Each structure stands twice: as C-alpha cells, then as structure tokens.
C-alpha cells in the first residue's frame, strides 16, 4: 500500500541520516526535515563547520563521517529510517571520479548494515549518450547506490537557481561584473533550471513515498532556456543592460580559465562545469512533480525569489563547503594558533566605542572590503587567482553575520564570537606556509595579530617580503576599525542617552 505524503512527513517522525549537511542544499534540507519533527543525523567531515539554526537544534544530531575513511563509517547509527546522499568531490580533486565511486561504495556498505528503508540521491540530468566526466561520474554513483538492500530513489537536477548554488553564483558574477561578454559556444546549450525551494520540497516529499521506490526522476522548472537566455533574463530582472557575443573558437580550456578568473568558482569546478555545459540537460518529463502534486516555479520567479531570500542574509553557499578551499582541513586542527616556528605581527590600538569596532570587524571583506588599502587587497586576490587560488571573489555568505566555517574572501572563519569580541581567520590563499589573522578585544584595545608558519626557505622569504606591506596596510586598518565617524559618534551618543534614560526610570 502506498504511504500518503501526510503520513510520511507529518504523522510519523523518523530518524534520517543527512550527508552533505554543510552544503547549500544540505543545510536547507536539514532545517525543513527537522521542522517537520524528524530527527536529522547530520554526517559531516568536520562538525565544527556545521551551524545549526536554534529553531531545530533539539532535533539535530551530528556525527563525524568521512566516506573515504572506513573507521568513521562506524559512527553511523543503525536505527535510521532514511538517508540522503548529497556529497560530491568534483571541486576537491581532479581525480574526483574514482573518489566519488569509492565514497558511494563505502556508503552503500554502511547503509546495508543499518535499518534504513529509503535512500535518496540528488544527481544531475544525464539523458545524453555523450556525457561529461562530471555527469558520467554522477550516473556511476547512482548505479553503485542503487545496488543496496534498501529502497532507492534518484532525483536528477540541472541548473539549480538559488543563492549559494555554484551555477547561480556564476550567472550572477558574469552578469553583474561584465557589461559585455565574449562567450564560448556552449552558451547556446539548452538547460531546464529549477528553483532551490522546489528542489528542497521535492527531496523532502519524496521520502518514504512508495511510488518513487527503485526509480530515477528528472526534476526541472517549466522553462527550457539556453545559458545565454538565462544570462540575459537575469540581467533584465536586475535592471542591467548587457551584451553577449558568442565566439565558437573559444576552447573548453579557455572557457574554464574565463570562468575561473571572472567568477568565484575554483578552477577544478570551472573545468567540470564547462565540460557539462556542452551537454543539454533537459528533463524527460515532470513525472515526480505529478506524483507529488508539486508545480515548480519558472526561471524568472526563481531569480526574484532568490533575491528576496538574500535579504535574510543567512544562507548557506557552495563556497562554505569543505572542498571549496585550498586545503581539506578540519577546523579543530587549526583553531589553536601555533607559536613555535612562527612569525607574528601583532598591533593594537585603543578603540573609541567597543560595539562599533566589533561591528566593523564583523563586516570585514565582501562588499565592505578591508577598510584600508583595498587596492592592495584586490591585487593580492588577483595574484592568488593567477596562482590557482581562491582569490577575493568568494566574498561572504552573509554581509551581516559570520559563522564558523564560512568563506570570507580568501580566508576561512575558524572562530567567531561577538560577545567575546574575537574573530579568527585562516588563509586559503596560495602560500608557502600557513597563515592566521586574528582580531581580539583586550581591555580598551583592539588587538590584530597576523601569524605565519613558513614552509621551508621560500616561506621565510615570503614573510620578509610582505612585512613592508604590513607596515602600510595594518596600521591603516586598525585606525579605521577603532575610529568612529561623526554619524557613528552621534549614534553612540544617542544610544548612551537611551541607556541613561532607562536607568533613570
């Protein structure tokens, strides 16, 4: 007998394993499943990276899981009812195909040792015979996972429209940064984009729905568009006048470099995406939407919805995932700044108003910039891009808040405690060593400390080469962070007046 949707997600509360919980889809799905009363077991490589919304904290458990480390597979509970497989490795390594296949095999074996009834996998639309390496890898993972002892369902999506999606962020970067685009021929390729909210709804509603067992479904919105049409539609919605010139002579390698330098994507991800963009990703049908009674929104509405949600400023992003940085590291391994064998540059300055200074520190990077010598910061970001690093284009997930694990330009947030007044960043730029940048409130002062642990002679040479730049950049930053403008001074005075009146009452 087929289980009604209301039974699946409302009446019965399940224990669900969620892999990829730090990703832009996983974080959203975690919140939706937990808000329905399910217990969500988030499986992550580094628990310190996972930020759990207060609203669902009592229904979320966290386990450490590396699908390439057999020892951590023992952490998976046996008493789970369902599982979502949302992991991939295409931006972490050029050898991602073998890594993805091995991860899938390990996951399947682990699931066969549990009580899991239903496993759901989010893949890519793969209907063409000549698939890219990326899509072929996704299809292979699907084949591996389908051989388990559980019920299995695959949802195949093309371009996902939503803040944090790599595809959306690339479209956004291209349109908002380039008035005129000279583009490769793959911009003529057709795709069927779908909004992120519809993806999350389809994923959550598919769980334990018997009609979906043992099947795969293409999921997409109602619009079939070329990449060029998507770019121009985005520009229209944003009120931007953009011109696109398509040149068939631009090779895939040049296309990859073009995406890498213009957008916030990593080079490995750019290569994978360019290769996939030569393949049409159009749904065979919308059968799953019919089964579940869901009508996806169109491309234009998905764009507008995305920018409405951006105002909430608390969205996850592919840039915050573990694979987007220079290193695959656990935050806990770097949160204690070393002292032995390190160079330190520590500076301090008395602040005028503590709250104002902390707010400025919490707004570093992204659109705000670094308060002083921004041209030099951009130059350093460009040099990092040339060397194969992440550069400055990652920006921030939120313009107003910082969480552990967030990407912040070419830094990673290791520790962020506003009440304590401490922010610790770890460098993900290309360096001959490891670097930390810390801001800490001590007494009446803001203390800024740059720590560098060199690797070999080149690391030592690098430190002494950048010291003169520190002498110019850091004092100016500290001054801007600790001083307040006339407007800020007036706001502080007004706040002090309000506090005084409240005390008097």
Q: Tell me what pLDDT residue 8 has.
A: 45
Which tokens in the block code for residue 200?
């999350």
∠ CA(266), CA(406), CA(202), 5° rounding? 80
- Separation CA 181–CA 283 (nearest Å): 28
Residues 6 or more apart whose Cβ sits within 8 Å of residue 57? none
Residue 250: alpha-carbon gap to chain centroid: 29
State if pTM tops 0.95: no
CA dihedral 194, 195, 197, 203 (to 10 degrees): 20
> What confidence tens digit (pLDDT) does each residue in 233-277 have?
999 998 889 888 887 766 666 767 767 777 766 666 666 666 667
**Residue 394: which of 367, 417, 372 has the closest Cα?**
367
Q: Tell me what pLDDT residue 387 has.
A: 78
Residues of the chain with pLDDT under 70: 1-12, 89-94, 130, 249-253, 255, 258, 264-276, 278, 310-335, 393, 486, 488, 490-505
Q: Identify the burial level of 103 via C-beta atoms within 10 angstroms of its C-beta, where 0-12 means exposed, 13-18 middle and 19 or more buried.
A: buried
Which tokens in the block code for residue 98?
């073998």
CB 137 within 8 A of CB 100: yes
Count of beta carbons in the 10 Å neighbourhood of residue 118: 22
CB 298 within 8 A of CB 306: no
CB 48 within 8 A of CB 405: yes
Q: Tell me what pLDDT residue 3 has.
A: 41
> What confidence tens digit (pLDDT) does each residue in 156-166 have?
998 899 877 77
Which tokens in the block code for residue 315?
């969205």
């Amino acid at each position: 007998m087929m289980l009604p949707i209301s039974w699946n997600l409302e009446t019965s509360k399940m224990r669900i394993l969620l892999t990829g919980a730090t990703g832009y889809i996983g974080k959203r799905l975690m919140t939706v499943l937990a808000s329905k009363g399910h217990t969500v077991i988030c499986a992550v490589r580094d628990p310190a990276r996972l930020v759990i919304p207060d609203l669902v904290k009592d229904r979320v458990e966290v386990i450490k899981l590396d699908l390439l480390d057999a020892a951590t597979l023992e952490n998976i509970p046996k008493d789970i009812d369902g599982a979502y497989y949302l992991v991939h490795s295409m931006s972490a390594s050029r050898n991602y195909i073998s890594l993805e296949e091995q991860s899938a095999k390990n996951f399947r074996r682990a699931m066969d040792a549990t009580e899991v009834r239903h496993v759901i996998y989010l893949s890519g639309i793969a209907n063409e015979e000549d698939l890219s390496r990326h899509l072929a890898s996704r299809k292979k993972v699907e084949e591996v996972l389908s051989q388990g002892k559980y019920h299995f369902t695959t949802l195949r999506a093309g371009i996902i429209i939503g803040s944090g999606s790599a595809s959306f962020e690339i479209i956004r970067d291209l349109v908002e940064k380039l008035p005129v685009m000279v583009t490769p021929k793959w911009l003529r390729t057709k795709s069927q984009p779908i909004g992120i909210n519809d993806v999350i709804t389809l994923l959550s509603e598919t769980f334990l729905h018997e009609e979906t067992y043992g099947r795969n479904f293409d999921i997409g919105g109602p619009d079939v568009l070329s990449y060029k049409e998507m770019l121009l539609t985005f520009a229209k919605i944003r009120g931007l006048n953009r011109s696109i010139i398509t040149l068939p002579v631009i090779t895939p390698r040049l296309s990859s470099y073009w995406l890498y330098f213009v957008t916030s994507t990593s080079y490995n991800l750019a290569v994978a995406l360019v290769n996939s963009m030569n393949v049409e990703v159009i749904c065979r049908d919308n059968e799953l939407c019919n089964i579940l009674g869901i009508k996806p929104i169109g491309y234009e509405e998905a764009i507008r919805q995305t920018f409405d949600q951006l105002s909430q400023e608390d969205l996850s992003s592919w840039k915050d995932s573990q694979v987007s940085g220079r290193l695959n590291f656990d935050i806990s391994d770097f949160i204690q700044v070393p002292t032995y064998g390190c160079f330190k540059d520590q500076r301090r300055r008395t602040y005028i108003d503590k709250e104002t200074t902390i707010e400025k520190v919490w707004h570093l990077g992204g659109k705000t910039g670094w308060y002083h010598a921004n041209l030099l910061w951009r130059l350093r970001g460009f040099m990092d891009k040339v060397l194969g690093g992440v550069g400055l284009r990652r920006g921030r997930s939120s313009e107003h808040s910082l969480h552990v694990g967030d990407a912040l330009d070419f830094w990673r947030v290791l520790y962020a405690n506003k009440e304590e007044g401490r922010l610790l960043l770890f460098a993900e730029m290309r360096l001959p060593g490891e670097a930390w940048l810390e801001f800490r409130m001590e007494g009446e002062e803001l203390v800024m400390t740059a720590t560098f642990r060199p690797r070999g002679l080149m690391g030592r040479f690098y430190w002494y080469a950048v010291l003169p730049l520190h002498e110019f950049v850091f004092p100016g930053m500290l001054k801007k962070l600790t001083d307040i403008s006339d407007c800020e001074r007036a706001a502080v005075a007004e706040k002090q007046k309000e506090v005084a009146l409240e005390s008097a009452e």
